[in-house]
Amino acid sequence: MKIEMDNDFRGNAYIIKSDEVLLNYSGGFSDLANEISNTLNTRFATASMGKTFVAVGILQLIEAGKLRFEDTLGAILDIDLKSIDPGVTVKQLLNHTSGVPDYFDESVMDDYEALWTDYPNYRIRHNEDMLPLFIDKPMMYPKGEKFQYNNTGYILLAMIIEKITGMYFDEYLQKNLFDKCGMSSTGYFAFDKLPARCANSYIYCPDTKDYRTNIYSVGAKGTGDGGAFVTVGDIVKFWNALIRHELLSEKMVSEMFSKQSGDGKDPEEGYYGYGVWIIDNPDGQDYVYMQGIDDGVSAISEFNPNNGMITVMLSNFGDNVWSRMRKIREEVYV
């Protein structure tokens, strides 16, 4: 079975089932001005997809006995939390029920660029650089009260990794996740020091009817809430390492892929596990996916445990990966 991709998609799409490649597509430019095409080896920014990597790092520390789900912010981090409840737990941060102040509350904000009006994005190179964006804000709701997607929670989780290991979170992930998976092209790279094969991410400007890059729209380097650069092949390696229990035990992967929060009112968004989204499947095992969106960035990757299919779609023009993923579920899964 071969799957076709509409040729106006600007980015890479890769679908594999067992050892059979069902789709291997590259379209658009990684460098628009120089008309350098995206290829299978192009590295794409992935925004919040990186939360999944941070979740795995936290779960590894829990399995190693260095951390517990019930451990609290106040007991782990030696910073002034101000109005943030020190009793917020690691589990609540993982499943977005913490209520900590979100520096970018997606329920009321839609312009990520607005964050950098008074606080230049080039300052963002480590997790602690994000503190001024949320540390003086009040809790959004009492801890554990409800599910609400929260970017700050994963900044704090990355800071927990750093506190426990004595390593920057991206260094920890490089050693304990990316290297273990053979993800040789994946990493957290600063915009002013990008390695080879990294795609620029482009934003359309309606007033001039052309494109600009997003280098002034997001942090200069990824943090715990997202920002890793990946290739489609590396994401497949990541899923395979997870489902083969090379990164976490079978029991922990099962917990990670289980519904931990959310109400499923939006059937496409579904529920939340630990670092992954979950779509309810009444006819079999639930679908598990990770996703990310930023100015000029859209990314989704899904694992279907019922047939072993792994889908990856990464765009550096913010193209609609969700509608394309929906089409695959409707036409290929059944």
Q: How does pLDDT run across 248-304, given as a tens digit for each residue?
A: 999 999 999 999 999 998 878 899 999 999 999 999 999 999 999 999 999 999 999
Q: Does residue 277 belong to any structural domain of this protein? A: yes
* In-domain check, residue 140: yes
Does residue 210 lie within any of the structural domains? Answer: yes
Q: Is 43 helix (H, G, I), strand (E, B) or coil?
A: strand
Q: What pLDDT shows up at residue 267?
A: 79
For residue 2, the model assigns a pLDDT of: 75
Q: What's the pLDDT at 237?
A: 98
With tokens 């600007």, the residue in question is 10
CB 326 within 8 A of CB 289: no
pLDDT at residue 108 above 70?
Answer: no
Q: Is 149 within the bounds of a domain?
A: yes
Beta-bridge mates of residue 303:
288, 310
Residue 46 binned pLDDT confidence (cut-offs 50, 70, 90) = very high
- Between 2 and 22, where is the model more confident? 22
Nearest CA-CA partner of 325 in 317, 316, 315: 315
- Which pLDDT belongs to residue 311? 98
Share of the chain above pLDDT 70, in %: 98
Note whether residue 6 is domain-resident.
no
Q: Is residue 3 a part of any domain in this protein?
A: no
Domain count, the chain: 1
- Specify the range with the lowest mean pLDDT, choosing from 6-10, 19-23, 106-110, 191-195: 106-110
pLDDT at position 114: 74
| Res. 113: pLDDT tops 90 | no
Q: What is the pLDDT of residues 114-141, one digit of tens each?
A: 777 778 899 999 999 999 999 999 999 9
Q: How far apart are CA 320 and CA 83, in angstroms?
A: 38
Q: CATH number for the domain including 225?
A: 3.40.710.10
Mean pLDDT of the chain: 95
Let me know: does 53 contact 33? Beta carbons within 8 Å.
Answer: no
Q: Is the pLDDT of residue 109 over 60?
A: no
What is the per-residue DSSP string for 53-101?
A: HHHHHHHHHHHTTS--TT-BHHHH--S--TTS-TT-BHHHHHTT-S-PP
d(CA 59, CA 192): 32
Residue 124 lies in a domain: yes
Residues 6+ apart with CB under 8 A from 158: 54, 127, 169, 223, 224, 225
Quote the domain boundaries for residue 247: 11-333
**Mean of the pLDDT values across residues 325-332?**
94
Mean pLDDT, range 186-202, rounded to an integer: 97
User: For the residues of 127-149, what is the DSSP string, one character each?
Assistant: GGGGGGGTTTSPPSS-TTS----
Q: Please report the pLDDT score of residue 229 as a whole number.
A: 98
Question: Is there a domain that residue 5 lies in?
Answer: no
How far apart CA 162 and CA 148 sit, in angstroms, is 25
